[in-house]
Amino acid sequence: MSQDPEMAARVWHGMRTLVLDRHDRRKEVCEALDMSFIRAKALRYLVDRPMTMRQLAGTLATDPPYTTLVVDDLVRRGLVVREVHPEDRRQKIVAITPEGARAAGRAEAILREPPPPLRDLDPADLATLDRIIAMLMT
Q: Looking at residue 13, which CATH number applies to its domain?
A: 1.10.10.10
φ/ψ of 96, rounded to 5, equals -80, 145
pLDDT band for 2, please (50, 70, 90 cuts).
Answer: low
Number of domains in the chain: 1
* pLDDT of amino acid 68: 96
* CA–CA separation, 93 and 83 (whole Å): 5
Tens of pLDDT, residue by residue over 51-108, are 999 999 999 999 999 999 999 999 999 999 999 988 888 889 999 999 999 999 999 9
1: pLDDT strictly greater than 60: no
CA distance 60 to 77: 19
Look up the domain containing 40 and give its range.
5-137
* pTM for the full predicted model: 0.84
Q: For a pLDDT cut of 90, what percent of the chain falls above it?
A: 87
Segment 29-38 shows an average pLDDT of 97
User: Do 20 and 9 touch, CB atoms closer than 8 A?
Assistant: no
